Amino acid sequence: MIRAEDFHKVYGQTVAVEGLSFEALPGQVLGLLGPNGAGKTTTMRAIAGIIPPTRGRLIVAGHDVAADPVAAKQQLAYVPDDPRLFEALTVWEHLEFIAAAYRVDAWRDRAGRLLERFELIDRRDTLAGELSRGMRQKVAICCAYLHGPGAILLDEPLTGLDPRGIRTMKTSVREQAAAGAAVVVSSHLLALVEDLCTHLLIVHRGKRLFFGPVAEARGAFAEMSADAPLEDVFFRLTEGAVP
């Protein structure tokens, strides 16, 4: 559902991503991990078609993001770490806009259920500019789910959410994957990734250090137990230990 083939992104003399290849299949939740500046957000923005690759191919649901961007984006939802909503639109008008943009038929019932699920139903007619950070995050998530995307990119999805919102968000990601979506979650919260993700992609300085099931990450080091915390794996890889 999501595939990167030898993806490079260069800004002037700065190499942000170098030769990155991976894939996320339907039903998988892929955790994208790395230190600050590792190339995580660049990768997600390129998959979303916001920035072009310098070299390589990015494919969503069989469509090349560069060659066939509209078809790729019809199957994609992207929630950045700081979603920018339309300040002068209400919560409901955001959903109406997304339904029109993606040509979603009979969307109102689904939109209402999403607002109920994320505790936004009483904010239905509130302008986005009047919402708290957490509520804005919830609106962006509802908009992302509305058209039933097959590929979902979530960059720090728990930012601003209260405990109940975090629980709802995690459950919703599992449900999206169970329904056949491929979900990529980028986060610095290793406990979230460990709890939620089936597969890992660990990057550092634009290069892939590990890609595969979570269990294989723990097994990459002979002395590491099967129940070792993901934090141990992450620091061993990003600090130069050789699997």
133-146 vs 163-178: helix axis angle to the nearest 10? 10
pLDDT band at 232 (very low <50, low <70, confident <90, very high): confident
Please write the tens of the pLDDT for every residue from 105-114.
999 999 999 9
Of residues 153, 94, 99, the one with CA closest to residue 123: 94
Please write the tens of the pLDDT for every residue from 12-23.
999 999 999 999
* CATH class (in words) of the domain with range 2-238: alpha beta
Please write the tens of the pLDDT for every residue from 4-13.
999 999 999 9
Q: What is the per-residue pLDDT for 238?
A: 83
Instruction: Provide, rounded to the nearest whole percent, the portion of the chain with pLDDT above 70.
Output: 95
Q: Whole-prediction pTM value? A: 0.93
The C-alpha angle 6, 9, 11, rounded to 5 degrees, equals 160
For the chain, domain boundaries: 2-238
* Mean of all residue pLDDT scores within the chain: 93
The b/e string for 36-45 (b: 16+ C-beta within 10 A; e otherwise) is eebbbbbbbb
